[in-house]
Amino acid sequence: MKISKVVVLGTGTMGNGIIQVVAQSGYQVTMEDINDSLLSQARQKIEKSLSKLVEKNKISAEEKENTLSRISSSTSLDVVTDADLVIEAVPEKLDLKAGIFEQLDKLAPGHAILASNTSSLPITAIAAATKRPEQVVGMHFMNPVPVMKGVELIRGRVTSQETINSAIEFVKSINKFPVVAEDYAGFITSRILNAYLNEAAYTVMDGNTPKDVDDAMVYCTNMPQGPCALMDLVGIDTIVYILDILETEFGPKFRTAPLLRQMARAGHLGKKTGRGFYEY
């Protein structure tokens, strides 16, 4: 199926990045959120991000303006009535996502692919809220979206091969690298990454400093960023949330390090609160 019109639901950090990348790749994209203030903030952030690319000579000023011209806004889900692809990027709450997909099923045209940008929630459960589960796919972008090359595509229990093929072609068309994963909690990336991050938290509990843990992984194993710094970037609360999902699915090997729960209770969530493993 040829994809021309894309709608992105949610304009948080992930939504913004997805909107920017899709528009930069030549697609007409509509961003949808609950009020005009959020949409205005999103557009400002996208414009700022594009301006930085212009300053670094990665794109021209004309490319920036052309990208912005391809982005429109809406506060109504009715905007999906002529969409070929809808990418949902709302908070990681299964009930919220399932409710949105139930509405999308009624509003989006019959040919449309419905995608969820989730890092851990079951695509099969989200798809079950629709009458077209074969056209529902996970489309897990990585943060920050404009920088990270990979996109994890999650095949729900009844996602069709045609839908997967269309998703693969779309991801390639926005200059990203598609990886197909099966629909078990955490898929491939979150499942492996969060086991690694959790173990890093245990090593800090053992008495190692966050800096020593990070330096060990950066300089001894060639990781681009240390695990403690990465947890601070993602948010300690988000890490705990994902680990709880993984423990429910796979058992005690994913039991959250007590230090992470203690940090979450203290509100030491990382960069967004000014303090996590480090102070900001």
Please give the pLDDT value at position 143.
86
234 and 108 part of one domain: no
Asked, for residue 275, whether it belongs to a domain, the answer is no
154 and 106 part of one domain: yes
Q: Considering its fold, how many domains does the chain have in total?
A: 2
Indicate the pLDDT class of residue 120, thresholds 50, 70 and 90. Answer: confident
Closest C-alpha to 123, from 88, 149, 148 = 88
12 and 135 part of one domain: yes
Asked, for residue 41, whether it belongs to a domain, the answer is yes
Q: Which CATH number covers residue 120?
A: 3.40.50.720
- Please identify, among 182, 213, 229, the residue that sits at the C-terminal boundary of a domain: 182
16 and 144 part of one domain: yes
Please give the pLDDT value at position 204.
98
Is the pLDDT assigned to residue 225 strictly greater than 80?
yes
147 and 92 part of one domain: yes
For residues 131-153, average pLDDT: 95
- Please identify, among 182, 214, 245, the residue that sits at the C-terminal boundary of a domain: 182
Name the strand (E) or helix (H) holding 195. Answer: helix 189-205
Please give the pLDDT value at position 2.
83
Distance, CA of 237 to CA of 234 (rounded, Å): 9
Asked, for residue 271, whether it belongs to a domain, the answer is no
Q: Which CATH number covers residue 206?
A: 1.10.1040.50
Contacts 24+ apart (CB under 8 A), 250-255: 250/185, 250/191, 253/195, 254/194, 254/195, 254/198
Domain that holds residue 126: 5-182
- Please identify, among 141, 159, 182, the residue that sits at the C-terminal boundary of a domain: 182
Is the pLDDT assigned to residue 57 strictly greater than 90?
yes
Query: What residues contact 89, with CB distance under 8 A and at least 6 apart?
Result: 8, 9, 10, 12, 14, 15, 18, 117
Distance, CA of 139 to CA of 88 (rounded, Å): 9
Asked, for residue 16, whether it belongs to a domain, the answer is yes
